[in-house]
Amino acid sequence: MSSYKEIVTKAVVGKGKKYFKNTYTLEATNKPSTVLGCWVINHKFKGYKSGEQIGVDGSYDVNIWYSYENDSKTTVINKQIKYNDIFNVKVKEEADLTGDTDIIVRTLKQPTCSKVDIGEDNIITFDIEKELGVEIVGETKMKIAIEEDEEPWEDLNNEITDDIESEIDKNVKEDFI
């Protein structure tokens, strides 16, 4: 007959992902003719618990390379973009979030520039897309079945007798190598 025990352990008790598409603007020092490239680098982020929600603070740098003076000169402008995103992550009902919880944030899709437009008055408008995944690690309980009957120990007979020792001595060839 088996009984049950409860084990308290840390496990993923909530998980979710969210897609973001944001539009930003930058003012160029010269009148842009053509946008030649847009790179997003140095993405950093950290998750935290805020009441019933999960917040993610982060930042990344955007570098836009463009030409001016009828495509005869080029320059790069950069802007650091900071963000604060909020997640409503569903938590499993057995989870206890009153204790110590860990928030794990992963980038499922790195921030990338998906669209760049040149507007009037030297304004460059660009779209950044990213996808973040959040996991909440907290304490939870598991029930396991306990078997009351212990299996008996098996007797092992590993003693070397004189007969076995003489058999080994006969079969070992000392000039093998």
Q: What is the pLDDT of residues 8-29, one digit of tens each?
A: 888 888 899 999 999 999 999 9
Asked whether residue 1 carries a pLDDT value surpassing 60, the answer given is no
Task: Indicate the number of domains in the chain.
Answer: 1
Cα 85 to the center of its chain, rounded Å: 16
Would you list the DSSP string of 12-58? EEEEEEEEEEEEEEEE-SS-EEEEEEEEEEEEEEEEEEETTEEEEEE
Residue 110, in any domain of the structure:
yes
Q: Is residue 172 part of a domain?
A: no
Give me 17's structure tokens.
Answer: 């992902």
Buried/exposed code over 56-73 (b: 16+ C-beta within 10 A; e: otherwise)? bebebebebebbbeeeee
pLDDT digits (tens, 9 = 90+) for 45-84: 999 988 888 999 999 999 999 999 999 999 999 999 999 9
In this structure, is residue 175 part of a structural domain?
no
Domain membership flag for residue 46: yes
Q: Determine what percent of the chain is predicted with pLDDT higher than 70.
A: 94
Q: What would the two tokens of residue 74 be?
A: 């080029």
Per-residue model confidence (pLDDT) at position 161? 78
**Is residue 41 assigned to a domain?**
yes
Structural domain containing residue 112: 2-153
Quick one: which of 72, 76, 78, 79 has its CA closest to 33? Answer: 72
Residue 151 has pLDDT above 90, yes or no: no
Residues 60/43, Cβ–Cβ less than 8 Å: yes
In a domain, 174, yes or no: no
In a domain, 170, yes or no: no
Instruction: Specify if 149 maps to a domain.
Output: yes
